Each structure stands twice: as C-alpha cells, then as structure tokens.
A and B are shown apart, each in its own frame.
Chain A
Amino acid sequence: MDTSWHIRDIHLLKGISPEELEKIFDITHTMTYDRGDILFHPEEHPHRLYFLHHGRVKSYTITPDGDLHILQIFHPGDAFGGLLMGVAEGVPIWAEAHDQVVATMMDEFCFKDFMRMTPNICFKLFQYMANRHAHDITHLQKLIHCDAKTRLILVLLHLVRVNEFPREDWIEVYPPYTHADLANMIGVARTTVSEIISDLKAEGVLKGRGRQLVINKHAALELAQSEEIGVR
C-alpha cells in the first residue's frame, strides 16, 4: 500500500555541533508550511528529500476514481521524498502539511553539497539506512512466523508509533485504515482481519467504530509478547 520512500525516527540533525548545524543551514533549505500547504507535487517528488522537524505531513495519491488515498503520515524525525530513489516511478504522490510544519529540504544540488561539506553526518545517514534495512528484515521475519492475530497487533503498534506516546493508555490509529488495507499488510483475507478485530475489541485491546481503531497500548504489548512465545 505504501509506495513512498521514507525512513522513520532518524532525527538526523539531533546532537550535532552548532558549527555543523550552521553549515547545514547554509547548504539546505529550511522550510515552513502552514496546515494544508503542499510540500511537493508529483513532479517534484523524485527531486526532493525532506527531514521533518516539527508537525506531521501526509503523503497521498489520487486514485483513478478521483479518491484521495493516504499513503503515509510522517512524524518529526522522519525523512522522506524520492530524491535518493532517483526514479520517478509508481503512483503520483503529493505531500501536504497536516499541522504547522518545519522541515529541512534538499534537492540534488544541495544533497551533493551536503555529502561534500558534512561527510560525517552523511555517513550517519547511510549507517542509519543500513540499520533500518536490517531492522525491517528482522521485523518481516518476525511477522512471517507469528499467527495472524499477533501480526495484526504488531502492525497496529507499528502504525501508531507507540514510543511517541509514553503517557497515553489508548492511542488512535491514524490515519484510519480499511480492513482491506490491514489485510494487505499482514497477508490474510479481509474477513480474517474483521474477525480478529472483533475478537480484540471483545478482549479490550481495541475499541472504535467503523474504520476508526483505538488501541490499548499496554494490553496490545502484553498480548503481542505472550503470543510471540508460541511462535509457529
């Protein structure tokens, strides 16, 4: 369901020296967007890379029927944009500010300067990408060996970014996903997802009506851990 490249939680500019930060300000674009502003259109997407500092950004495409289909919600610390992929393929993608947004933007010219002038930070970026790739493979392996219920819980915990809400007990899954979307993510039939969601609601792990799902963080983590012990 997701065709837009991104990496989560990189926080690339966090903890770097003021001198290096100054260099980055000199060679990149510090951008601000009010809610509803467009960060990029489909023709700009392959040429830009963003590091998000504040606010949320939604990426979306328009289906052939004219419906808006949300691909991702990006959070502070995320990096996104098609620049590093280098090819304008797949569905047309827009990105829109969901809140008041502050981001660092680079085009190809900026990124080449970035590599030349701040090689240590650039190295950190590639290390992070490699680590993330390894993490994703481990995560996928874990998903493959779990039953469908555990897979769904793990995917929901991943979607709500549970680490960002240390104080909340209930977290809404946003944007709302259809049962078909969720079924796609965990590789089962839509009806299976609907049945599991009903079970989880009865167990007090989920609540919400229609597409809206709110997850009980503690119950979900506990269930995921206990179910994972019985890996098939």
Chain B
Amino acid sequence: MDTIRLFIATDDAACTRVKDYLETWIVDRDGVTLEIVPVLENPVQLIQLGINYTPALVVNGMVISQRCSVDEVREWLHEHLLDT
C-alpha cells in the first residue's frame, strides 16, 4: 500500500491543479491512498517534513517534490507507481 500526501495552500492555483489531477488519477486505483493536506491545518507536519513550498508531493513519508507541476507529478507516478 502506497500513501500519497499532497500538501497544498488552499488558495493557490498551482496547488489546485495538482490536487485536481491527483484526485482524478486516484479513482479506481487500488493499493494507493491519497490525502490532501492543507498547510494551514497541518503546520507542524509541514515543519517536520521541511516543506517550504507547495504543492509538495510526499510519498510514503518522503518528500518527493516541492512546488511541483502536474507534469512532474504525472511523470513521477508513471515511473514509480505505474504497476499500481
């Protein structure tokens, strides 16, 4: 089971784009869970993970990318979670 967490600023267009993409991507995908984490609601986790920029993609507790684009997220998922 893989866990994807996306840290977002809720008023940011780039964050919303990545969030929308992941919410579509996750549909009917077994073995992966997605959690959208608004930074204002989870500041301690943000500091613990050393996240400074959003959207930030965190997979299985590891920060994969900060200020990531939909293209980057798509590529990373394709490369690492394709068989899910």
Instruction: Give the complex CA separation of A11 and B39 in angstroms.
Output: 18
Known contacts A34-B40, A54-B54, A102-B43; decide if A21 and B9 are in contact (CB<8 Å): no
The answer to whether B52 touches A21, judged by C-beta atoms less than 8 angstroms apart, is no
Known contacts A54-B53, A54-B54; decide if A100 and B9 are in contact (CB<8 Å): yes
Query: Total A-B residue pairs with C-beta atoms closer than 8 Å?
Result: 53
Within the complex, the shortest CB–CB distance from B44 to chain A, in Å, comes to: 6
Within 8 Å by CB of B43, from A14, A18, A30, lies: A30
Q: How many residues of A contact B (CB 8 A)?
A: 21
**Which residue in chain A gives the minimum CB-CB distance to B53?**
A76
The answer to whether A21 touches B12, judged by C-beta atoms less than 8 angstroms apart, is no
Interface residues of B in 60-75 (CB under 8 A from A): none
Asked whether any CB of chain A lies closer than 8 Å to the CB of B46, the reply is yes
Within the complex, the shortest CB–CB distance from B73 to chain A, in Å, comes to: 15
Contacts of A42 in B (CB 8 A): none
Asked whether any CB of chain A lies closer than 8 Å to the CB of B30, the reply is no
Interface set of A (CB-CB < 8 Å, partner B): 11, 13-15, 18, 21, 25, 30-32, 34-35, 53-55, 76-77, 99-100, 102, 104
Interface set of B (CB-CB < 8 Å, partner A): 9-12, 39-40, 43-44, 46-48, 50-54
